[in-house]
Amino acid sequence: MNESVSSPTFSLEALRNGDRKEFARLVDAFSTPIYRLALRILGDPQDAEDVLQETFIRALSALPTFEGRSSLSTWLYRIAVNEALMMLRRRKPETLLNENDGGDEENSDNESNYLVDWCCLPEEELLSEEARQFLDQAIAQLPENLRLVFWLRDVEGLSIKETAEALGLSETNVKTRLLRARLRLRELLSEYYYERMGMRPEEDAP
């Protein structure tokens, strides 16, 4: 969800002053994208619900001192990401998300070295329910640090700057991870569409 559409409808002054109706509208506007983000991180609907609830509890208590240096959406995403990652780290203590986590050093030896041209596939094949499900599975296969950047930028529609602020990363780092995520997804989807075209990688070799 891109807040550029909905942000003019919110009164920051009312939110800071504890206006319950305005806060309820904020919750209504951002519950779905925040839940989706938490679900992508945690993979468990109940945990995602817990993160959603905790995000707005924390937002409610922090709104009186919110200075508005970032957009409301970026601020809420940052709270949600922190809550989800704290929950994830309780499960997997080694999980980190920072500039020097080493997650951008991908092993190219394990990556697919072929890409399929999808131009010849019929539109109904590209947009089929099976293809959409495979795309969801492919996104889920991305490493955590790439998946979060891809989800915020390409699915929820945040800008590079907003994504960087939400994740506590530099814009350069976001751009790098986004490129890697897109390339990885293209490779995974290429394998899928090779099968749809009745081909195998070795058949396409010179």
DSSP secondary structure, 19-58, as one string: -HHHHHHHHHHHHHHHHHHHHHHH--HHHHHHHHHHHHHH
Q: What is the pLDDT of residues 144-193, one digit of tens each?
A: 889 999 989 988 888 999 999 999 899 999 999 999 998 888 888 777 66
pLDDT at 48: 94
> Domains of the chain (ranges plus CATH)?
3-96 (1.10.1740.10), 107-199 (1.10.10.10)
| Residue where the block lists tokens 């806060």 | 23
Residue 204 has pLDDT above 70, yes or no: no
pLDDT at 112: 42
Average pLDDT (12-40) is 92
**Single pTM value for the model:** 0.69
Q: What size, in residues, is the chain? A: 206
The region of weakest confidence among 52-56, 84-88, 197-201 is 197-201
pLDDT at 106: 44
Residue 116 has pLDDT above 60, yes or no: no
pLDDT at 127: 53
Q: What is the pLDDT of residues 79-111, one digit of tens each?
A: 999 999 888 888 765 544 554 444 444 443 344
Average pLDDT (5-26) is 81
What value does the mean pLDDT of the chain take?
77
| Residue where the block lists tokens 């506590």 | 168
What is the band of 203 on the pLDDT scale with cuts at 50, 70, 90? very low
Rg (CA), the chain: 19
Structure tokens at 93: 């203590």
Residue 65 has pLDDT above 50, yes or no: yes
